[in-house]
Amino acid sequence: MRYWSWLFAAPPARAPLAGIYALSAEWQALMDPATESSVARVKLAWWHDEMQRLAAHSGVHPISNYLAALPRAASVDFSPLLTAVRAAAIQISGAPLESGADLEPQSQDLWGGPLRLASLLCGEALDEAPLRTCTGALAAAHYLSRAIRDYRREARIGRVPFAVDELLAAGIDNADLAAERPPQRLTIYLERLRERAAGYFHSASRALPPDQQPPQRHLLIIAALGHRHMSGVTRSSPRWWRDLFLSWTTARRAQR
């Protein structure tokens, strides 16, 4: 989704998106269950210091230098990137979400803040309230999508990506999450989460006012692709072709 959103983004948005997506890829790799947790902690500690340096306009990493060289870099606050690194460190520590209500704040810290920062770096005058609503919904949807995809791998290394109160209410334990074949109660719970993620993607697609849609059409593309993936829509054509066509049509509609 990141690639298609970058490809069909408004020209001023492409450079900021490239930088923010590059950082997100670095941190997402460290959060992956295949990454040794001790290695991830050390590297995230370094990134924490680097984001402090970036905020002070003294970064040393090539991605930091790339972001610092963007035209609006001097006028934006880079602290959401520091918050994102801290949230990633909490994620790899294995600390679960205690409550379903914690999903939106945690996902906002992880993904929403950096995505909103990319939009602010585009150089357009923006109403930040709908932008925050849109990126917050996308962040929550992304968190759920990732958790649904990786929950079994996470559970097998002792991490629980879902809210504890929801799991208890559904009668789901760690053995269920790690099982090769999910029990019915887990299947039902995962389907509810897919519906919830699809709802977040749909909400994001409606959040931006018409005047903000053309310059921020990359957000609409993420929302459209995510909603299709979570809704389980199937077609005979290859998925990459469907994603390409949906991205193109979404970008075209945003420009009207």
- Is 233's pLDDT higher than 70? no
- Is CATH 1.10.600.10 the classification given to domain 2-255? yes
- Domain segments of the chain: what residues? 2-255
Residue 256 is predicted with a pLDDT of: 77
End-to-end alpha carbon distance in the chain = 22
Q: Which residue has the tokens 């909603």?
A: 227
Choose among 110, 103, 87, 223: nearest CA to 161: 103
Which two three-digit tokens encode residue 19? 């930088």
Q: What is the per-residue pLDDT across 18-68, written as a single tens digit (0 to 9) for each?
A: 999 999 999 999 999 999 999 999 999 999 999 999 999 899 999 999 999
Residue 149 is predicted with a pLDDT of: 94
Positive or negative: CA dihedral 240, 213, 2, 15: positive
Q: What is the per-residue pLDDT across 76-114, written as a single tens digit (0 to 9) for each?
A: 999 999 999 999 999 999 888 999 999 999 999 999 999
Mean confidence (pLDDT) of the chain: 93
Neighbours of 234 (CB within 10 A): 8
Spatial separation of the C-alpha atoms in residues 227 and 215, rounded to whole Å: 21
Instruction: Quote the pTM value.
Output: 0.94
* Amino acid at residue number 192: R
More confident residue, 180 or 123: 180
